Each structure stands twice: as structure tokens, then as C-alpha cells.
Amino acid sequence: MANEFVSRSLDEIRFWSRIMKEHSLFLSLGFSSDDIKLIDEAKQFITVFERIEEQLNRFSVSSDPQQVKAFNNQVYQSVASIWAYKRKVLGLTLRCEVLSNNYPLLIDHTSREAAYFANRLKELNEGKLVPLPEAIIQENVFFLKIMADHAKFIGHLLDPSERKLVDQAREFSHDFDQLMYQAIDLDHMKPESETPALLGQFLDQNRVSVVSLRDFKKTARDLIEACRIKSNIHPLLADHVFREAERFIEIIDMFEGHLQNSHG
Ligand SMILES: [Fe+2]
Ligand SMILES: [Fe+2]
């Protein structure tokens, strides 16, 4: 159990610290060049999460759980700070007090990912390692919205002349909006909806769509890297959203494994 706590903590920090570092880069690139203070703040977060990654490298699965717990707390503070920064930038953007090339939905999206990460760290430190059925539905609501947002960002950041890809992105956006509402429907029906059969079917259905979105993102990433399509998408952003889809698939696998274990 102690080992599981350590390995899960390190895994969350490894994945999400890199994500937080990249958000800081994307936010810093979105401002106009005279918004020096906001750009500097974003860059400071790059340093903060790089340091966390360095610290992380000194831990291993055999590390002392107490030290990992303290590290989780430390990382939590940094994630809370970047969350507050993102919400500040969102407010400035929505009030038209700064001009940013980042869509408000993207800024909000990155803040939701920070809130998710912070919450994971809190849960781990509270000893919540195994997902409850209720958490399975809510986690899917969270990730389905994340995937729906990604499809919208891709659709809106592609060059308008990339008509076929824009259409595909729009279809993914619609598909994930539907899946998200379906998940919300299921969430409203809980706890009666928390049967292994319904949860299993729910996860299967989500997986099919996430796998196909993941493949679309992989193709887009490769084409962007090879400069074969026209877009405003930073190559690192293309890779970033691809990794987040992979993460969602891993989480679905973990949930399915858990359902099978607990219900034979
Ligand atoms: Fe992200
Ligand atoms: Fe994302």
C-alpha cells in the first residue's frame, strides 16, 4: 500500500508537472510583447515546474512515503499558485484588459487541469488510492470535457483552408460533447447507475472514441512537425494534447481493471 502511494504520487507528478510547464510556455507565447509582467510570471512557472521535475528525479518507488507526502504538499502549493495565475489571466482576458492569442476557453481549460492535478495530490495524501464508482463517472465527465475542448482548439487553430481536418475536428467535438452529456446523465442517476455492467459499457464506449481521437491527434502532431499542414498550432501543443488523450486511455484501463477485480 505504501509502495502504491509512492508510485502513484510520482506518476501523477511526472505527468502533470510537464503539462503545467508547457501551459506556462503556451500562456507566455500568447501575450502581446509589452505585457512583460504577465510573460515573466508565466516564465517563472516554467522554472518552478522544472525544479519540481529535478526534485522528482531524486525519488524512486522505494522512497520514504513520509517524504513523498511532504513533496506532494510542496507540489500542491505550486499547482495552487499556477491555478490562481491562470484564473487571473482568464479574468483579464474576459474583461478585455489584456489582448491574448490564447482563447479564454483554453486558459480556463488549463486552469481546470491544474485544479484536477491539485485535487489528485490532495486525494493521494488523504490515502484515496482506489477509485470509487462515483469517482469513475466524475473522472470521465472531467476528461470527456477536456477531450471535447481539445477538438475545439484544434478545429479553431487549424488554417481555415485545411477544410477536411477542420471538419474532422468538428466531428470529434460533437462526439465528445455527446459523450460528456451522457456521462453527466449517468452521474445524475447515481448511485443507482453505479452497476458494474453500466460502468463497464460506459468505459468501453468512451474508450472507442478516445482511441480514435488519440489517433487523430497523433496524425495531426506528425503532420505539424513535418510542416505538412497549415495551422497556428505549436508543435508542442499538438504533442501535449496527444499525451493527455493517452493519459485518459490509461485511466480508463485502470478503471476497467479495477471493476474486473472487484466484481470478478
Ligand atoms: Fe494541458
Ligand atoms: Fe488539455
193 and 171, same structural domain?
yes
Ligand in nearest proximity to the CA of 117: 1
Ramachandran assignment for 71, one of left (phi > 0), alpha (psi -120 to 50 degrees), beta (any other): alpha
3 and 85 together in one domain: yes
For 161, the domain range is 131-264
Regions of the chain where pLDDT drops below 50: 264
- At 1 the pLDDT is 63
Last residue of a domain, one of 75, 100, 129: 129
Ligand 2 center to 186 CA (angstroms): 23
Rounded distance from Cα 33 to ligand 2 centre (Å)? 25
- 209-219: per-residue pLDDT in tens? 999 999 999 99
Looking at residue 262, what is its pLDDT?
75
CA of 104 relative to ligand 1 center, distance in Å:
14
Q: Which residues surround ligand 1, an ion (CB under 5 A)?
A: 19, 113
The predicted pLDDT at position 263 comes to: 59
Q: How far away, in angstroms, is 262 Cα from ligand 2 center?
A: 31
Could you tell me if 119 and 226 lie in one domain? no
Residues 152 and 101 in one domain: no
Q: Which long-range contacts (CB under 8 A, 24 or more apart) does 214-222 make?
A: 214/242, 214/245, 214/246, 214/249, 216/168, 216/169, 216/172, 217/150, 217/154, 217/241, 217/242, 217/245, 218/242, 220/154, 220/165
116 plus 146 within the same structural domain: no
The pLDDT, as a whole number, for residue 261 is: 83
Q: How many domains does the chain have?
A: 2
Residues 151, 258: one domain? Answer: yes
Q: In this structure, are 235 and 160 located in the same domain?
A: yes
Phi, psi (rounded to 5 degrees) for 158: -70, 150
- pLDDT, one tens digit per residue, over 107-147 is 999 999 999 999 999 999 999 887 777 789 999 999 999 99
If asked whether residues 114 and 167 sit together in one domain, one would say: no
Distance CA 117, CA 132 (A): 18
Task: Indicate if 35 and 67 belong to the same structural domain.
Answer: yes
Residues 97 and 123 in one domain: yes
Residue 129 has what pLDDT? 84
Same domain assignment for residues 225 and 139: yes
